[in-house]
Structure 1
Amino acid sequence: MKQSITFLLLSLFLLGCDSKEEVDLIVYNANIYTVDSGFSKASSLAIKDGKFVAISEKVNIGESFSADQKIDAGGKTIVPGLIDAHCHFYGLGLNQQVVDLVGTKSYDEVLQRVADFHEKNPSNVILGRGWDQNDWEVKEFPFNEALNKMFPDIPVVLERVDGHAYLVNHKALKMAGIDNSTYVQGGEIVKENGQIIGVLVDAPMAMVDAVMPQPNRVSQIQALQEAEKLCFEYGLTTVNDAGLHRSTIELIDSLHQVGDLSIRVYAMVSNTPENLDYYLNKGIIKTDRLNVRSIKVYGDGALGSRGAALKAPYSDKEGHFGAMITPVDQIEGLAERIAATDYQMNTHAIGDSANVVILRTYQKVLEGKADRRWKVEHAQVVSEKDFDYFKSGIIPSVQPTHATSDMYWAEDRLGPERIKGAYAFKKLLEKSGTVALGTDFPVEQVSPFLTFYASVARKDLDNYPEGGFQMVDALSREETLKGMTIWAAHSNFEEDEKGSIEVGKMADFVILSEDIMTVPEQDIPDLKAEQVFVGGKQVK
């Protein structure tokens, strides 16, 4: 009898073991922010075939599931995989191969870095990026005389930090066919006393691009893989690349297919005739890791280079209004063409003039078309009366670190009244109901934790200004996390597959060093992505 009872108990135990569902990974003892509709919390999750199959408030869901791989999170915080809603992923990788000019405090330092780089990496062309004259004691565009003397026979092309201006030497100008008589609509060939100084703003930059050597396939692959490594380091699992050509998109797809690239990419197609003809006719391209369904258009330039299109002149440059890169008379026709397809239109708009042109156009061509989710990229300076356009389903895609990078000089550009409608993230959220948050890297740093800090604290890393910059437009921590996850996913038409930790969604998540929702404000920039998972597989 005793043996029978023992056998029965053993059978019941084995039956209980057999009833557990086999999964690939269990994570338990965690502080999980699911970012679901109720912003609920959990303590454990299970993953199978790259997707979440269970999320539980129990300490351990091992009672229902079994897995060979288990992670005790030790109480650490877990959030959904972070999404950068506006960046230049491929450009970030290419930047690792050129002179780094970020953080230079003078033109002399720029010249020294260029000389040092060329000495270590001699070549027949010198490329660099990252200078910003607003960080110098003399906050004016540099002249290229010193570059001409240093490199009379080698073209030198140095890109401003925002990507909207070049400083080039005489050799590069000559190769591009640019002289004092050259005129290009949609930008500026900067002159002083009637003579070009080597600074090109927006449209004329394309003339230089056309004569520069293009990276070979090995360099392109290296760039993409280096960019992925940097993104994974900070917990980014999806990146929205704001402007890619067909060849790069196809390279990303091929690397995905052979397993040489894992990061998910939302590709905004660069607005060129060739790209439009191909993609608008082909339709949406969607895999688990690549989504091609939007066209990136440039409305105007950047505020830092005074290329942003303003309704009234710049406060610090009399008679200067900036310029539209895509002419106003072309915007509507382009929008109508895109609206006739399933593609999204994502338009760069910085100045208040550019913003109202884009907003009016969107409203007109989208009338009667539901749930198109067209975006205004940056929405940086908006007139008070124009904010209401965002009530019609237009999504603002903004970058909080632009506010804290520009706050030192933005009012000089805009004046005390216009600045009130700049970097107005809270007001944009109130009008639109959602904001997608990104960095615009490599214009800004890659770290999404700097995005989070700039969004909620609106200060620089030296705690300036005391009390924060225009705090009326700061976002809460919950709003910020949503903007970096579920709202960003929504802006990509991907909210049913990512952006929150919910059953059935892709198992993209990040284990953080501290609780991002409660850590002291000043410690947010120091947060670390300790472990990063894409589709349930650890990538960091």
Structure 2
Amino acid sequence: MKNFNTNLLFLFLIGFFASCTTNKQIDLIVYNAKVYTVDSAFSIVEAFAVNNGVIVELGDGQDLLNKYDAKDKIDAQGKFIYPGFYDAHAHFFMLAEAMDEVSLLGSTSFDEVIARIQDYKTKNPDKKWIIGNGWDQNLWETKDFPTRDSLDKYFPETPIYLTRVDYHAALVNGKALEKAGLDSAYLVDGGLISINEEGIPDGILVDNAMQLVKNHIPKQQNSALLKILRRAQDSLLSVGLTSIVDAGLTKDQIESLKIFYNEDSLAIRDYAMVMATPESIKEFLRSGTYESDKLTVRSFKLMADGALGSRGACLLHPYHDAPTQGFLLQNPEEFDKTIKRLANSNFQVNTHAIGDSANRIILDTYGKYLKDNQERRWRIEHAQIIAPGDFDKFKQFHIIPSVQPTHATSDMYWAEDRIGPYRIKGAYAYKKLLDEYGLLALGSDFPVEHFNPLYGFHAAVARVDSKGYPEGGFQMENAISREQALRGMTIWAAYSCFQEKKRGSIEKGKDADFIILEEDIMAADVAKLRNIKTLRTVIAGESVFIRKAG
């Protein structure tokens, strides 16, 4: 009996001391950091704890280390942590495809375009089509649109399709036109088939006319598609992006994403906008919204007009440098009909609008159906040129401006030539839009611009390009603060997608999506901002990118 009692006492003491010393098991503690939470108070803490992909507590690092027993620990070594960056307007599939295409970005002449295509063809002799992207005639000495003549001379048997940097115009050769059966020009609603003096298509297709050839380009199979998407994803994760808005996808693309995410083949979070065609509207209104852990489908994207660089943006008055006002991609009655239909659904409405006429039409049509219902969170994508009397409509109708700061610093070299000294004051007016609505959703529009979110952060606060031009900044009255820019690429971007309660800031109960940067973007010299490296990217508590030392 004595031995029995002694053994019982021994077991009791073991259990007692174990209960006193055993900490709660969790997955991760991050400590020894300067953590910008981007909560409502813009608080800064030193550490936080994560379990099951969710933040469970923030505070002092030693306190959390004493309180919890974590499977993994990250000693940030005094580095700087932010919520995962959220690109509020991007094109994932286009970026993935562009990485396989001939890059024409930065080409300074059409001769250089030809040379790059020749080099690409030599390295890729088995390509049935040559697809390229990124040419911009504004960078050339002769700023007129190119024509197909040289393409026909050097590439008579290979169909070629080259999109302009804004993806709103394409140059094709005769073989591509032949594949599309396009041997004469005709009127295209919301588009243009450019012709030469003989009335024959000269190779330039603008906006809706581009699809006439694009429809004939062979499509990727899912296995090949996943491969290029994962490659593009690696680039996005390496610059701290944890969430993106995929601005305009087809039904087939969304179905592919569902398969990939169900297989856990992609890590980055994707808020997918459905491209609003009559067929897709009918299909998705029937099937309803969709949300998984990393893929959300609850919005439609409409296209009001084209781009400023290709003179497809729809203006209230003619361009300053050409006798055209651009054009709408649909007539106002069609927009009204579509928006009315979507207003009676659970889907968000997001519309691409560049010119002041396009923005006015969409603002007024939104206002007709929103009826002060702020929770609809309808967005205007780009909101690039706004007439003076239209800014207050963003506040009046509760419309979110979704803007891309690098557009201002890319376009500033020629934008005033397009629209003149008066209208330029209402262009790229991010501070004015922020003051009206109270927040901005910031994105990049990649691959139209580079996908690195710090390029946009730099452009938003400094209003200069990578070369520091212009001295003093472009229209600095519309620069925004660093805090505002950080909010725009985290919590405000999440808000614009109805996700502010689960991501966009580092707070208890939210997804553990965060990044570690090598320097503090809130304090670093402006000239350094674009070059600050992401050291680690984490989604739902899992490290999806770690920069190698050196």
TM-score, with structure 2 as normaliser: 0.94
Alignment partner, residue 213 of structure 1? 218
Alignment partner, residue 3 of structure 1? none
Alignment partner, residue 133 of structure 2? 129
Alignment partner, residue 107 of structure 1? 110
Alignment partner, residue 406 of structure 2? 401
Separation in 2, partners of 1:147, 1:236: 38
Question: Does the 8 A contact of 1:29 with 1:59 survive in 2?
Answer: no
Separation in 2, partners of 1:156, 1:527: 38
Question: Does the 8 A contact of 1:41 with 1:57 survive in 2?
Answer: no
Which runs of 5 or more residues in structure 1 are unaligned? 1-6
Correspondent of 2:31 among 24, 28, 32: 28
CA change 1:57–1:393 in 2 (3 A) is farther
Q: Does 1:166 align with 2:163?
A: no
Separation in 2, partners of 1:470, 1:383: 16
Alignment partner, residue 64 of structure 2? 61
1:68 aligns to what SS in structure 2? strand
Q: Does 1:325 align with 2:325?
A: no
Which deviates more from structure 2 when the two are superposed, residues 248-257 or residues 487-496? 248-257
Any idea what the Cα deviations from partners look like across 1:208-248, whole Å, max 9, x if unmatched? 11222112222211121112111101110001000111221
Alignment partner, residue 156 of structure 1? 160
Q: Does 1:437 align with 2:427?
A: no
Q: Does 1:478 align with 2:483?
A: yes
Separation in 1, partners of 2:435, 2:64: 39
Separation in 1, partners of 2:155, 2:116: 14
1:408 aligns to what SS in structure 2? coil
Separation in 2, partners of 1:134, 1:9: 80
Alignment partner, residue 101 of structure 2? 98
Shift of 1:273: 2.1
2:375 aligns to what SS in structure 1? coil
Write the mapping of 1:47-446 to structure 2, written as runs, cut at 5 A: 47-58=50-61, 60-122=63-125, 123-193=127-197, 194-317=199-322, 319-367=323-371, 369-391=373-395, 392-446=397-451
Question: Does the 8 A contact of 2:83 with 2:514 survive in 1?
Answer: yes
2:508 partner amino acid:
V
Shift of 1:51: 0.4
1:72 partner amino acid:
D
1:514 aligns to what SS in structure 2? coil
Shift of 1:192: 4.1
Separation in 2, partners of 1:413, 1:525: 28
Question: Does the 8 A contact of 1:297 with 1:347 survive in 2?
Answer: yes
Question: Does the 8 A contact of 1:507 with 1:533 survive in 2?
Answer: yes
Query: What is the number of equivalent residue pairs in this alignment?
Result: 532
Separation in 2, partners of 1:240, 1:517: 24
Shift of 1:186: 0.6
Superposed CA RMSD: 1.6
Separation in 2, partners of 1:330, 1:98: 35
Shift of 1:334: 0.4
Alignment partner, residue 3 of structure 2? none
Question: Does the 8 A contact of 1:335 with 1:361 survive in 2?
Answer: yes
Separation in 2, partners of 1:73, 1:10: 36
Shift of 1:179: 3.6
2:394 aligns to what SS in structure 1? helix
Question: Does the 8 A contact of 1:22 with 1:67 survive in 2?
Answer: yes
Identity of matched residues, %: 48
Separation in 1, partners of 2:407, 2:416: 13
Which deviates more from structure 2 when the two are superposed, residues 136-145 or residues 488-497? 136-145
Shift of 1:262: 0.9
Question: Does the 8 A contact of 2:372 with 2:398 survive in 1?
Answer: no
Question: Does the 8 A contact of 1:355 with 1:382 survive in 2?
Answer: yes
TM-score, with structure 1 as normaliser: 0.96
Any idea what the Cα deviations from partners look like across 1:161-189, whole Å, max 9, x if unmatched? 11100000011122223344322121222
Which runs of 5 or more residues in structure 2 are unaligned? 1-10, 546-550
Separation in 2, partners of 1:79, 1:407: 30
2:334 partner amino acid:
Q
Question: Does the 8 A contact of 2:185 with 2:193 survive in 1?
Answer: no
2:503 partner amino acid:
K
Shift of 1:340: 0.5
Separation in 2, partners of 1:14, 1:402: 60
Separation in 2, partners of 1:415, 1:539: 46
Separation in 2, partners of 1:268, 1:295: 5
Shift of 1:418: 0.1
Correspondent of 1:523 among 524, 528, 531: 528
Alignment partner, residue 6 of structure 2? none
Shift of 1:268: 0.3
1:451 aligns to what SS in structure 2? helix
Separation in 2, partners of 1:512, 1:181: 53
2:94 aligns to what SS in structure 1? helix
